[in-house]
Amino acid sequence: MYTSSDLNWVKNVKREQGNGWAYMDAIVGGSFFLNWPKRKKGNVLKAICGELILIFQTINKGLEYPKGTYLTHIVTPLDNKIEVRDSTHPFCRLVGVIAMAYIPKPIELNFFKPNRGACCNINLIERTNKLPISELELKRKIWNLFNPDAELKDLFEFVINDNFEIEIDGSIEGEEKVKMKEHKYYERDPQIIQAKKKEAIKSNILFCEVCNFDFKLRYGNHGNGFIECHHKSPIAKAGKRLTKLNDLALVCSNCHRMLHRKNAKNNYFTINELKEIIVKN
C-alpha cells in the first residue's frame, strides 16, 4: 500500500521543448517507459521499486492550459532494468502510473532546483519563507493535490487514496514482478463547476443544498466563495454525457462525503434523501 511518505522523488519531463504534454496518453493503473537524457544514465535507477516519483512539466503558452508548471503524474518503478533507445533521451525505465492530473504548481513551492531531467530528492522542491514546512508536510501537501477529497482544479476525478495497492506476483522463471491493480479516472470539466458556483454567488445562494451550511457565515472572509460541487449522477456510473448546471449540486464537505458513501442497500443517497435524514435526526 502506498502513502504520502513513499513520495521520495521528483522529476521534470518535457516534450517538444514545452510545446506538448509528455506521457499524457498513459492511464492510471497502466505503465510507460520514463525517459532520461544522455548525461543522466547514472540517475536512472536512483529510485527503488515501491518508491514514488512526482513528475512535473512546464508548458508554453498556446496549449489548452495557461503557460506554467504543472504536476502531472505520480509513478513508481516496476523493475530495476534500464532500456536503451536511439534518441536524445536514450535511457528508459518502466514505471507504473499511480495518479495523473493537470495540477498547476502551488505558488508557494519552487521547482527550479529539480528542473534538470534527473530523478531528484523531493526536498529539492523549495518552500517560500511563508511556508517553512517539513519534508513530511511537503509530501502530504503534494499527495493531497491528487486526492479526490480535495477540491481539485484539474480535469480528472481519481480513484486514489492512502490505501492504493499493488500486487506482487512471482513468474515461473523466478523473477519477481509488479502488477498494478487497475484504477480508472473519469474526465470532468472544471468550467461547468465554476459556472455553477458563479450562478449561486450571483443569486446569493452559495450554501449547501442539503443542510444549508454557509462557509462564509461560519468562517468569515476565509470561507467566502467556498463550496464543493457534487455530480447528482456519478461520472463513473453514467459514463460520457452532457452535464448541465442542473445536474450539479453545491454541498458542504460533510454532506459531500455522505453523498459518496453507499447506504445499507449499496446505493448512494440523493440530495433529497440526505435532506430527509437530516430532518429526521
Q: H-type helices in 93-246, by residue range? A: 135-145, 190-202, 215-219, 235-238
Of 202, 207, 234, 247, nearest to 223 by C-alpha is 207
Q: How many residues does the chain have?
A: 281
pLDDT number for residue 29: 80
The mean predicted confidence, pLDDT, of the chain is: 79
Return the closest-CA partner of residue 180 out of 26, 4, 19. Answer: 26
| pLDDT tens string 145-169 | 886 433 333 323 333 333 333 333 3
* CATH class of the domain whose range is 4-187: alpha beta
The share of the chain scoring above pLDDT 90, in percent, equals 30
Query: 115: Cβ–Cβ under 8 A, 6 or more apart, which residues?
Result: 12, 58
**C-alpha cell of 23?**
506521457
Q: Which helix (H) or strand (E) holds 187?
A: strand 185-187
Which residues share a beta bridge with 9? 53, 121
Strand partners, 54: 10, 74
Least confident window among 212-216, 259-263, 275-279: 259-263
Q: Where are the domains of the chain?
A: 4-187, 190-280
Work out the pLDDT band at 278, boundaries 50, 70, 90: very high
**Residue 197, all three cell numbers:** 458556483
Quote the pLDDT of residue 1: 65
The residue that leads in pLDDT, 1 or 93, is 93
Residue 241: band (very low, low, confident or very high) from pLDDT cuts 50, 70, 90:
low
Read off the pLDDT of each residue in 215-223 and give the average, rounded to a whole number.
89
Query: Which pLDDT score, from 0 to 100, does residue 253 have?
Result: 87
Helix (H, G, I), strand (E, B) or coil at 229: strand
pLDDT in tens, 170-179: 333 334 444 4
- Span 38-42, mean pLDDT? 87
What pLDDT is recorded for position 166? 36
Record the cell numbers describing residue 45, joined without a space: 535507477
Predicted pLDDT at 94: 92
Report CA 211 to chain centroid distance, whole Å: 28
Please report the sign of the dihedral spanned by the C-alpha atoms of residue 249, residue 183, residue 239, residue 241: positive
For the segment 55-82, what is each residue's pLDDT rounded down to a tens digit? 999 988 755 678 889 999 999 999 899 9
